[in-house]
Structure 1
Amino acid sequence: MPRAPRRKLLPEYDPEAFGRLSEKIARFLGTGRFLVWMTLTIVVWVLWNVFAPPSVRFDPYPFIFLTLMLSLQASYAAPLILLAQNRQADRDRVEMEQDRSQNERSIADTEYLTREIAALRMGLGEVATRDWIRSEFEDLLKELAERPAVFRPSGSDAGRGRDEGDR
């Protein structure tokens, strides 16, 4: 018979959801909006507890309760900011590894293309170019023009086409 699951003393929570929430809080704590709201809250707190009638003041002059609230806020803010920084560091590490592997692939591709270009250059050194062929034909035509006319038509056949005498 299977055992009944044990009851856990600690509450269950989703670490990913908690991490996302901590990042949202850390992002808010780093804004000017937070600083403005915090400053306004403290100013109103102090002004209320200094100038309000004594019967409605809730934190007289040394402002012990204000100090307690600021300490409480700081005690939660610091770990949340650290948690958000750790998550960001993890993301940065993964991104850096992906960048490194992409760079390695790019280097391998570049080396491959460099070898291919070098092979093409070596191959082009052995291929006859249009200018080389043209110069060879010109040399051949000059050589033929300098040779005696062996197959040139005689004076009487000169006016007629090549194959007219064969008909």
Structure 2
Amino acid sequence: MQIGSVTGGHVDCFPTDAMTAALNERGARIGAAAPADSLPDGGVRFDELSGSMDSIFHGKLDMEGGISLVGTDGTRLDVMKLSGETPLGAISATPETTRPGQAPQAGPRAEVAYPTVPGSVGGRPTGLTTFDVSVGSTNFALTQAGAARINDVFGTTLEKDVTFMRCTADIQGRLG
């Protein structure tokens, strides 16, 4: 099928219980960085989407906003502007650490990336040139660099390949 453009929808991500526990143990919590929205239980909704894909989710997806990890002392790690190839590949982001009394420190874009393994993917036409794509629960695991960044900022002991979040997606697209 011809590749089309993303015209709307949302991606919802929720931290795993293990990730929430590891961060809570260090006095940190997960939330959304605007324009993403916070959901209950540390979830994040991305609803400012762009990119290109077909009805079986092959293409590129960009999400505005980000995931924010915030410590009780005001330390923040914002993981912003998530982008990646779908359904296989990696989703990269721009990490920025802010500590009280210090200027924000941005990390290299590839530093926080999550390899994706697709959940169930379904597409269906909604008109002559429009379609919806639905993606079931998909695990996003930390890379070595992502785990090291969180460990450095919050003193956790996370390891590579630990599932960080589980995400679902409902995306609308238009052919052409």
Q: Give the shorter-chain TM-score range.
A: under 0.3
TM-score, reference length from structure 1: 0.19
The one of the two structures with greater contact order (alpha-carbon pairs below 8 A, sep at least 6) is 2
Tell me which protein shows more strand as a share of its residues. Answer: 2
Higher Cα radius of gyration: 1
TM-score, reference length from structure 2: 0.19
